[in-house]
Structure 1
């Protein structure tokens, strides 16, 4: 009986998939990122405009790019940027980090968020 349950559990876990979200399409993400380009850029200069440079954003602690003046809310958020934290932030920036300075209302479409995240990662130098 126990062996049968163990085999059933193994078979079930072998067929289960964990929803980590779609990987995103960086080509489509570049189109979505056009909305972000008024304030953000992604290049190796690491110089910023109205918003911080997003080069090598993955794994960076929020509010930590040298030379950019972040809001106290962002600098103190304790976030580390990864796919999940970016997805949550891009959904509704003002709600995700209350008091941050980014006026952008967010991306309501999950595919747009996944695509722009894929683009940000692919464009990093």
Structure 2
């Protein structure tokens, strides 16, 4: 799916994400942590955000597969997560959001 992903579709789909997350570099944490540089970032790694134990114990980095699984159904990927979002149901929409999030990396 990532081969057919379109980052241009991301902003519309990600509107729900931005209700609780910021995309700004070192942006403020809102209800959830900021998503700047989330692709490839270690999970639960924003120092001034209090993650749920469920997310804190996951380890690893946010790669395409883990982002896909979490965005599809957060409560299944990390049972006990405090993220109340039900998830994105359409696989292509998830791929589009992941590619969109990848545009918010490094020092763009």
- TM-score using structure 2 length: 0.90
Asked if 1:84 is matched to 2:65, the reply is: yes
Q: Which residue of 1 aligns with 2:51?
A: 70
Contact 1:74/1:100, CA 8 A, preserved across alignment = yes
Contact 2:7/2:97, CA 8 A, preserved across alignment = yes
Q: Which residue of 1 aligns with 2:94?
A: 113
Give, in whole Å, the separation in 2 of the partners of 1:64 and 1:45. Answer: 12
Q: Which residue of 2 aligns with 1:41?
A: 22
Contact 1:23/1:118, CA 8 A, preserved across alignment = no
Name the SS of the counterpart of 1:37 in structure 2: helix
Structure 2: unaligned runs, 5 residues or longer: none
Offset of residue 94 of structure 1: 0.2
Give, in whole Å, the separation in 1 of the partners of 2:70 and 2:3. Answer: 17
Query: How many residue pairs are counted as aligned between the two chains?
Result: 106
Give, in whole Å, the separation in 1 of the partners of 2:18 and 2:40. Answer: 21
Give, in whole Å, the separation in 2 of the partners of 1:44 and 1:78. Answer: 22
Structure 1: unaligned runs, 5 residues or longer: 1-19
Contact 1:43/1:55, CA 8 A, preserved across alignment = yes
Offset of residue 23 of structure 1: 4.6
- TM-score using structure 1 length: 0.79
Runs of 4+ in 1 over 4 A off after TM superposition: none
